[in-house]
Amino acid sequence: MGHRIDQTSPASQYSGYGVIEDVDRVTDLVLRAMSRTPNARLREIMKSFVRHLHAFAREVQLAEAEYDVAIDFLNRIGKATNDAHNEGILFADAVGFSTLVCLLNNGAHSAPQTAAALLGPFWRDNAPLTPDGASIVRSPTPGPALFVTGHIRDPQDRPIPAVDVDIWHSSPVGLYENQDPNQAEMNLRGRLHTGEDGVFHFRSVKPAGYPVPTNGPVGELLRGQFREPYRPAHLHVMGYKPSYKTLITQVFVPDDPFIEKDVVFGVTRKLIGDYRRHDDGEPPSPDVTPPWYTLDYTFVLEPGEAKRPVPPIK
């Protein structure tokens, strides 16, 4: 289990790391206790984590009652998490931690690569394979029709065929299908493949913004901070192909009122898409009435390791 802590090295004879003489000694003593960690990366991470955690408590002079609130908050994040909801990711998102980690790990080679964005808590694996050009609307869904053309190219601007593309977005009622009994299973979710030209097409409805779930501890925090829980409208896109770094991103709708106040800090400049409104002319499909929208967006995949993320929900 790659993401679990390796526990294969048993602690043997401790020489002891001392008793605590006063508050100033606590941190050193903890660091010493952890200094034998054989896994160098675990040692480095925990050393830094403890140093910053202790420094944080010192800086704010954390009261015992506040400590109790914090532990209770942490425990409730766990309890609020289930197969259909991931409160832990929502918390990381709401404090900008997901975006920070995402940006630290993507875009280091700068220019041509498409900016990555946080995965969010709503990706489901095994979305239905959708023929090129088909609709991902699987039950009656409000909102104007949207026709998406996506191009997937390498940093040399060559098309990449046979990329596995996952698409998911919320319904304009503000809920993902797994949150909403009125939507069909896998509504507004699909998996497509790029053709030889590196292009994929699908039909959906124009996404609308939505509030993140606020009935758990993260909602309490947002209310306590006078923060609105809304995300600007976006499409989630994941591009996966062996030998390319998996691209996880979102394409935002520019005229959304929350474009500059995303509760989870996902909006980067490059990820604002050109969603074009059409009021006249021949609609792309006979059942479409104006207005409809089109989106044309180019994603750049870098050579690298292809890795599908762990689904945050089932």
Supply the minimum distance, in Å, between the C-beta of residue 314 and Fe ion: 17
Pick between residue 80 and residue 251 the one whose CB is nearest to Fe ion. Answer: 251
Cα-flanking dihedrals φ and ψ of residue 274, to 5°?
A: -95, 80
Piece of the chain touching Fe ion by CB under 5 A; list 80-88, 113-121, 187-195, 213-221: 113-121
Supply the minimum distance, in Å, between the C-beta of residue 95 and Fe ion: 17
Pick between residue 46 and residue 208 the one whose CB is nearest to Fe ion. Answer: 208
Total site size for Fe ion, rule CB under 5 A: 1
Pick between residue 120 and residue 217 the one whose CB is nearest to Fe ion. Answer: 120
Residue 46 tokens read as 């925990």
Question: What are the CB-based long-range contacts (under 8 Å, 24+) for 21-28?
Answer: 26/54, 27/51, 27/54
Half-sphere CA count of 38, side-chain side, radius 13 A: 8
Pick between residue 30 and residue 117 the one whose CB is nearest to Fe ion. Answer: 117
Supply the minimum distance, in Å, between the C-beta of residue 170 and Fe ion: 6
Strand partners, 146: 204, 293
Supply the minimum distance, in Å, between the C-beta of residue 231 and Fe ion: 6
Residues 114-133 that bind Fe ion (CB under 5 A): 120
Pick between residue 160 and residue 267 the one whose CB is nearest to Fe ion. Answer: 267
Pick between residue 120 and residue 198 the one whose CB is nearest to Fe ion. Answer: 120
Closest CA to 194 of 162, 230, 236, 159: 162
Write out the DSSP string of the chain: -TTSPP--S------------SGGGHHHHHHHHTTT-SSHHHHHHHHHHHHHHHHHHHHHT--HHHHHHHHHHHHHHHHT-BTTB-HHHHHHHHTTHHHHHHHHHS-TT-TTSPPP----S---S-PPB--TT-B---S---S-EEEEEEEEE-TTS-B--S-EEEEE---TTS--GGG-TTSPTTTTEEEEE--TTSEEEEEEE----EEPP-SSHHHHHHHHTT---EE--EEEEEEE-TTBPPEEEEEE-TT-TTTT--TT----GGGB--EEEE-SS--SSTT--S-EEEEEEEEEPPBS---PPPPS--
Pick between residue 153 and residue 234 the one whose CB is nearest to Fe ion. Answer: 234
Supply the minimum distance, in Å, between the C-beta of residue 132 and Fe ion: 24
Pick between residue 257 and residue 303 the one whose CB is nearest to Fe ion. Answer: 257
Supply the minimum distance, in Å, between the C-beta of residue 120 and Fe ion: 5
Supply the minimum distance, in Å, between the C-beta of residue 56 and Fe ion: 30
CB 139 within 8 A of CB 187: yes
Supply the minimum distance, in Å, between the C-beta of residue 284 and Fe ion: 25
Piece of the chain touching Fe ion by CB under 5 A; list 26-34, 51-59, 63-71, 112-120: 112-120
Pick between residue 120 and residue 216 the one whose CB is nearest to Fe ion. Answer: 120
Supply the minimum distance, in Å, between the C-beta of residue 212 and Fe ion: 9
Binding residues (CB under 5 A) for Fe ion: these are 120
